[in-house]
Amino acid sequence: MSVKKEQAQLKHLRDKIDDLDHQLIDLLARRQEVVEEVVAFKKEHQLSVYHPAREADMIDARRDHGRKVGLDADYMEEVFRNIMRYSRSVQTAEISRVGVRPGAGILIVGGAGEMGRLFKRWFEASGYRVEILEVDDWDRVAELCENIDLALISVPIDKTVAIIERISPYLPAECILADLTSVKSLSVKAMCDNFAGPVLGLHPMFGPDTRSMERQIVVVTPGRERIEDRWVAEQFAVWGAVIVRSEADEHDEIMAVVQALRHFATFTFGRFLYQHRIDLKRTLEFSSPIYRLELDMVGRLFAQDPELYGEIIFATPERLELLREYLESVKNNLDIISGHDLDDGSGREKFIREFNKIATWFGPFSDQAIRESGYMINKLIERF
């Protein structure tokens, strides 16, 4: 085949690819038109932007469809996650400007703190009247509490109960009293004991540096809640957050693992590295992507406020007891190492037996974890 014919054939193939790309763009534009119809519907009916179960089902379906037509399932997942991420951002940008009860009055106690400032911005952007109450404002507490529809307590854990007791007498009867504390049993009980109106526990599972509420989890713990008072949770949903409802005891039990145990385990690993003066930079030269990801999480912890993590870890006696059980479990693992010193190699065999038991207990989640961690690792490789 001559050079001219080769070039002509290659151009023909490239033109076909260009044509298919144009068709893809046209299809994406048509898809976006439907997304805008969905936005209008959700806006009218005050529905949440993000539905985790539906998105998971969609991803699984796209992976299966791609596999059936000869395409790599991981490639399909990456493509459609990007499409859905953009779709959510469009929906959130449009819907998040809507206030469920625009014009309502909100008082944020601790509003000058990082989380307080975050919610002040969000509520004001959605058309609410927002005031803050700080340490120097208690001489104006009666004035600040007039005509408010929501009093939001955003103070450290160890000050929450005292603040609830102090402000409750000044609140209007129909006002909603809510808190942002990460320990719900103490705060919800204090609110119910000191205030006769509607009570709602809130725990945003994100920090003050959050730029978007999209897909962020907010745990809602009812205290003394009426149907008509649920506009607070609805507002978070309109902003794009995922609402998870939980009783106070269940919330605290789970948070002991999700927050206290996880942070303490990370602290313990970091402290071990510090005590042995491990050369972190040198280890990164040899590191696998997984080690780098784990070390990033350790470094992230020690780059933040120790007071905040101290509050979370030492919040309740139950959390401290869980940490003692965790350390006892770590100590028990010495049996595996000690057994390996024996001639029969029983330590290694015990490790494998324990590993298999735990793997069975994790079940299908392990497959999901492989996929999700693989995605993060690949993104990390692309960056570094």
To the nearest whole number, what is the mean pLDDT of the chain? 89
Q: What is the pLDDT of residue 341?
A: 53
User: What's the DSSP call for residue 155?
Assistant: S
Q: Which of 60-64, 81-85, 125-129 has the lowest mean pLDDT?
A: 81-85
- Mean pLDDT calculated for residue range 325-341: 83
**Taking 60 as the threshold, does the pLDDT of residue 340 lie above it?**
no
- What share of the chain has pLDDT > 90, as a percent? 60
pLDDT band at 384 (very low <50, low <70, confident <90, very high): low
Q: pLDDT at position 13, please?
A: 93
pLDDT at 3 over 90: no
State the pLDDT at residue 51: 73
pLDDT for position 46: 65
What confidence tens digit (pLDDT) does each residue in 310-325 have? 999 998 999 999 999 9
Confidence of residue 339 (pLDDT cuts 50, 70, 90): low
- Indicate the pTM of the whole model: 0.72
Instruction: Give the pLDDT of residue 336.
Output: 84
Residue 344 pLDDT exceeds 60: no
Q: How many CB atoms lie within 10 A of CB 134?
A: 14
Sign of CA dihedral 348, 351, 357, 360: negative
Task: Please give the torsion angle defined by the CA atoms of residues 124, 130, 135 and 136, in that order, rounded to the nearest 10 degrees.
Answer: 110
Beta carbons of 109 and 153 less than 8 angstroms apart? yes
Model confidence at 301: pLDDT above 70: yes
How far is Cα 40 from Cα 45, in angstroms, rounded to an integer?
Answer: 9
Q: Catalogue the E-assigned strands of the chain.
A: 105-109, 129-133, 150-153, 176-179, 199-204, 217-224, 242-245
Name the nearest CA neighbour of 202 among 272, 251, 266: 251
Q: 327 versus 86: which is more confidently predicted?
A: 327
From the CB of residue 265, how many other CB atoms can be counted at a distance below 10 Å?
15
Amino acid identity of residue 88, one-letter, is R
pLDDT of residue 149: 96
- The Cα–Cα gap between 118 and 257 comes to 26
Fold of 3-95: Chorismate Mutase Domain, subunit A (1.20.59)
Band of pLDDT at residue 345, cut at 50, 70 and 90: low
Q: How far apart are CA 134 and CA 109, in angstroms?
A: 6
Q: Residue written as tokens 């989640």?
A: 365
The CATH class, in words, for 105-245 is: alpha beta
Strands across the sheet with 105-109, in order?
129-133, 105-109, 150-153, 176-179, 199-204, 217-224, 242-245
* Residue 70 near residue 128, CB atoms below 8 Å: no
For residues 91 and 83, what is the distance between their CA atoms, to the nearest angstrom?
12
- Taking only the tens place, the pLDDT of each residue in 221-273 is 989 878 778 899 999 988 888 999 999 999 999 999 999 999 999 999 999 99
DSSP per residue, 180-244: --S-HHHHHHHHHHH-SS-EEEEEESS-TT----TT-EEEEEEEE--GGGTHHHHHHHHTTPEEE
Whether residue 162 is predicted with pLDDT greater than 80 in this model: the reply is yes
**What is the structure's pLDDT at 85?**
81
| Residue 160 structure tokens | 């929450």
Q: What is the reported pLDDT for 95?
A: 62
237-246, 297-306, 319-328, 373-382: lowest mean pLDDT where? 373-382
Compute CA distances 201 → 66, 190, 223, 230, whole Å.
43, 11, 7, 12
Task: Give the per-residue pLDDT at 338.
Answer: 77
What's the confidence (pLDDT) of residue 93?
Answer: 62
Q: Using 50, 70 and 90 to split pLDDT, how confident is the model at 52? A: confident
Lowest-confidence pick of 89-98, 100-109, 157-166: 89-98
Beta bridge partners of 178: 152, 200
Whose tokens are 């042995």? That residue is 276
| Whether pLDDT at 216 is above 80 | yes
What is the average pLDDT across 165-194?
Answer: 95
Contact status, residue 132 vs residue 112, Cβ threshold 8 Å:
yes
Task: Report, as an integer, the average pLDDT of 109-119.
Answer: 92
At 97 the pLDDT is 67
What residues contact residue 381 under an 8 Å CB cut-off, 6+ apart?
289
Average pLDDT over residues 166-185: 95
